[in-house]
Amino acid sequence: MTNADAIVAALYFDGKSSRRHSVTLTVREQVAVVSGDIRRECAIRDLRVSERFRNARRKVTFPDGAYLEILDPAAFDALLARTGYQDSFVVRMQQSWRGTLAAFAVTAAILVLGYLYGLPAAANFAAKTLPVNVERMIGRETLSFLDKRMLSPSTLPPARQQAIAGRFRNLVTPAEGAPSYEIVFRKSRIGPNAFALPSGHIVLTDELVHLVDNNDAVMAVLAHELGHLHERHLTRRLIQGSMIGAAAMLLFGDVSSVIANIPTVMLDLKYSRDAEREADDYAIAMLNKNGISVSALIHVFEALEKEQGDHSPYLSSHPPASERIARIRGAR
């Protein structure tokens, strides 16, 4: 190949008809010269050159939509080199294996660090910046929904209800600025349970009160749920969940929404367990501050585990009871 004058074979399409023209391309003094079936000149700064791919023909597009398909890639590369053409930074990065490997390493590092530290920190910041009123608005209708489907009025004697609520209200919280809350008593169709709603309601089921059958243990359960409210876990989980969902769609959505949902569910599990650990720590601190033995909280987990075994719906998204008990023993 003689590329002293770098003459490049190409096809020319004029942008007006699909007819193909055989031409050659050369560059003289920053002007591209097309000759052959068609004669045409154009300043090279007005031309767009497509990216170099392994098998695809490169295209040189004129401002009016006409373009050349290059038939002789080696001669074209020589021509580009001679005119001082340089690929963009992104193209150079992807065309070297070193650049690709670096991109892979950085992407993986960002994803892992973002999942472990970045997203929880950002969600924590966002949740604590968001006024409580907004959070309450989000969860306003959850309790009435649950009342229709899964809960019925409590059969605990009113005196017992008042004793529980009154005692808990007199406890000191481990940190300043505990949010306002309301303890609601309900009979449950889904077994012993207690949960906090974004609306500030702490739902305590009769079944759980009967199961633990111990006033200190009920205080421990309530302290754990108040921990969820105080730490804004519900809003944090909501933000983290939707961010993971968005990231999974970005990564896998092109291929399959079935695959995109797998990481969402699996990755959310860690956040769920982290939140439970935080609420346990909150409960431990609250019990210690009020002179109640933390064995009350251990009693709750033991009772739940005995009642429902490992398959408890209450424990499934939570750390294993044995691990939580060991943690409490450690904290003591």
Partner 1 sequence: MVNPDELLAATEFPDQTDRQHAAPGTQPFVFTGSGSEYFRIWIVNLLFTIVTLGIYSAWAKVRKTRYFYDNTVLAGASFDYHGSPVSILRGRVVALFFFGAYNIAFMISDAAGFAALALLGAAIPWLIWKSLQFKLYNSSYRGIRFGFGGTAGKVYLTYLVLPLATVLTAYLLAPFTHQRIKKFQHDHSRYGSTSFSFHASAGSFYKAYLIAFAIALGGMVAIGLAFGGTFVAIIKAGGPREAGPVAVGTIAIFLLVVYAWLFSLLPLFLTLIQNLIWNNTRLGNHRFTSRMRVGKMAFIAVTNMIGIVATLGLFIPFAQIRTMKYRIESMTIVPSGSLDDFIAGVQENASATGEGAADLLDFDLSL
What is the binding site for partner 1 (CB under 8 A)? Answer: 1-2, 7, 9-11, 13-20, 22-24, 36, 50-51, 53-57, 59, 61, 65-67, 69, 71-72, 75, 90, 93-95, 97, 99-100, 103-104, 106-107, 110-111, 137-138, 140-141, 242, 250-252, 254-256, 258-259, 262
Q: Encode 42-78: b = buried (16+ Cβ within 10 Å), e = exposed.
A: bebeebebeeeeeeeebbbbbeeebbbebbbeebbbb
Complex with partner 1: residue 138 or 165, whichever CB lies closer: 138
Complex with partner 1: residue 83 or 107, whichever CB lies closer: 107
DSSP calls for 119-185? HHHHHHHHHHHS-HHHHHHHTTTHHHHHHHHTEEE--S-HHHHHHHHHHHHHSPPSSS-PPP-EEEE
* Cβ at position 45, least distance to partner 1 in Å: 19
Complex with partner 1: residue 2 or 155, whichever CB lies closer: 2
Count of other CB atoms within 10 angstroms of residue 6: 20
Complex with partner 1: residue 31 or 110, whichever CB lies closer: 110
Is 8 in a helix, a strand, or coil?
strand
* Cβ at position 187, least distance to partner 1 in Å: 26
* Cβ at position 36, least distance to partner 1 in Å: 7
Complex with partner 1: residue 7 or 178, whichever CB lies closer: 7
* Cβ at position 54, least distance to partner 1 in Å: 5
């899964």: which residue's tokens? Answer: 150
* Cβ at position 220, least distance to partner 1 in Å: 31
Is 18 in a helix, a strand, or coil?
coil
Complex with partner 1: residue 22 or 322, whichever CB lies closer: 22
* Cβ at position 64, least distance to partner 1 in Å: 10
Which pairing describes strands 201-205 and 182-188: parallel, antiparallel, or unpaired?
A: parallel
How many residues make up the chain in this entry?
Answer: 332
What backbone phi and psi angles, to 5 degrees, belong to 306?
Answer: -65, -40
CA distance 190 to 221: 17
* Cβ at position 89, least distance to partner 1 in Å: 10
Is 44 in a helix, a strand, or coil?
helix
Complex with partner 1: residue 147 or 302, whichever CB lies closer: 147
* Cβ at position 285, least distance to partner 1 in Å: 31
Complex with partner 1: residue 105 or 175, whichever CB lies closer: 105
50-to-72, 80, 102, 242 alpha-carbon distances in Å: 15, 12, 24, 37
Instruction: Collect all residues with Cβ–Cβ distance below 8 Å to 69 and sequence separation of at least 6.
Output: 10, 11, 13, 57, 58, 59
